[in-house]
């Protein structure tokens, strides 16, 4: 047993499977398929809907049945951008937990602006890879810059800086994953580099974190728990595949079959 006494990843998984929470995703064109399938395999109910005309309706549904929202900027254009801002504001109005995935932040001013404007609306969790989180931290006014020597530390420092500034949780994924509120930090070990050979696996994790936010657990714990379950499923899948094609298949199968008991025995979450 490697999980902290105040986290309980098996319970996170059990609650998601029992409640089948609605996860509403403003997703990107590449990740919709694996994100929806990962949510289904995890036990949640995905909904993809990006039309500004129905944002209010989906917000009300999410509120009324204890759902969550995820916003992924991966293939935004002007239309999706407008919708995302509206939706994030409504999530805040209705107190719906939401996760922001700043895909490709740093690659263009357009992406930086999209990430920045959404970040100002204070997502419950910001989830990105090291380069995205570092890029956001460097671009923020008031960000303190990053002086770490290793890229892993650099990403963690950036995550802490963003978390403190916006008073949100920041989850950063890499060789080691972290979730931090700026003061307290949990590290999650596991996973496998081969997961980066399947497109949109990070985007799928973002959606699963959204599912975790619908449980009655404390949010840093539920986020770490989901990240731990994801890493564990990734390890199992990577050890039983022949390449990235079968990895995707095995990963979805594993998410579906993994037991709360096994999760609690094997997961590796530490306070740092």
Among 252, 263, 267, 269, binds a second copy (CB under 8 A): 252
| CB of 236 closer than 8 Å to CB of 250 | yes
Among 109, 148, 153, 239, binds a second copy (CB under 8 A): 109
Q: Please say which residue, 143 or 244, places its beta carbon nearer to a second copy.
A: 244
Q: Residue 36 CA to chain centroid, in angstroms?
A: 14
What's the Cα-to-Cα distance from 13 to each of 157, 170, 238, 258, rounded to whole Å?
29, 21, 21, 9
* Region from 8-16, 45-53, 202-210, 219-227 binding a second copy, contact rule CB under 8 A: 45-53
- Concatenate the DSSP letters of all residues of 138-152 into one string: HHSTT------SSHH
Q: Find the DSSP H helices in 130-243.
A: 130-139, 151-166, 201-212, 219-238
Q: Which residues contact 54 (CB under 8 A, 6 or more apart)?
A: none
**Quick one: tokens of 26?**
């403003």
CA dihedral 23, 24, 27, 31 (to 10 degrees): 30
Using rule CB under 8 A, residue 254 touches a second copy: yes
How are beta strands 68-72 and 98-101 bridged, if at all?
parallel
Among 6, 54, 175, 218, binds a second copy (CB under 8 A): 54
Q: Please say which residue, 198 or 226, places its beta carbon nearer to a second copy.
A: 198
Among 3, 58, 98, 230, binds a second copy (CB under 8 A): 58
Among 192, 253, 260, 268, binds a second copy (CB under 8 A): 253
Among 2, 4, 14, 33, binds a second copy (CB under 8 A): 33
Using rule CB under 8 A, residue 74 touches a second copy: yes
Closest distance to a second copy from the beta carbon of 220 (Å)? 29
Q: Please say which residue, 4 or 47, places its beta carbon nearer to a second copy.
A: 47
| CB of 49 closer than 8 Å to CB of 62 | no
Using rule CB under 8 A, residue 230 touches a second copy: no
Per-residue string for binding with a second copy, 146-185, x by CB under 8 A? ----------------------------------------
How are beta strands 68-72 and 22-26 bridged, if at all?
parallel
Q: Residue 95 CA to chain centroid, in angstroms?
A: 18
Binding positions for a second copy, rule: CB under 8 A = 28-30, 32-34, 36-37, 40-41, 46-54, 56-58, 61, 74-79, 104, 107-111, 196-200, 241-246, 248-257
């Amino acid at each position: 047993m490697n999980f902290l006494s105040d986290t309980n990843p098996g319970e996170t998984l059990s609650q998601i499977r029992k409640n089948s929470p609605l996860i509403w995703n403003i997703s990107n064109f590449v990740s919709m398929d694996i994100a929806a399938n990962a949510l289904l395999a995890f036990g949640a109910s995905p909904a993809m809907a990006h039309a500004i005309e129905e944002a209010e309706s989906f917000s009300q549904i999410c509120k009324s049945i204890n759902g969550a929202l995820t916003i992924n900027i991966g293939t935004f254009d002007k239309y999706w951008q407008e919708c995302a801002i509206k939706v994030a504001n409504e999530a805040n109005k209705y107190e719906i937990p939401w996760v922001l995935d700043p895909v490709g932040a740093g690659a263009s001013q357009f992406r930086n602006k999209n990430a920045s404007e959404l970040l100002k609306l204070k997502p419950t969790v910001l989830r990105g890879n090291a380069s995205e989180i570092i890029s956001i931290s460097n671009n923020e006014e008031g960000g303190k810059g990053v002086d770490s020597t290793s890229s892993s530390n650099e990403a963690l420092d950036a995550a802490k800086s963003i978390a403190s500034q916006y008073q949100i949780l920041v989850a950063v994924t890499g060789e080691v994953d972290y979730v931090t509120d700026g003061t307290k930090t949990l590290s999650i070990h596991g996973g496998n580099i081969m997961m980066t050979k399947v497109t949109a696996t990070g985007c799928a994790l973002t959606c699963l974190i959204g599912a975790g936010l619908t449980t009655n657990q404390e949010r840093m714990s539920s986020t770490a728990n989901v990240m731990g379950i994801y890493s564990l499923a990734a390890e199992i899948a990577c050890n039983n595949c022949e390449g990235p094609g079968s990895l995707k298949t095995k990963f979805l199968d594993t998410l579906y079959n993994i037991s709360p008991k096994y999760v609690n025995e094997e997961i590796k979450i530490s306070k740092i």
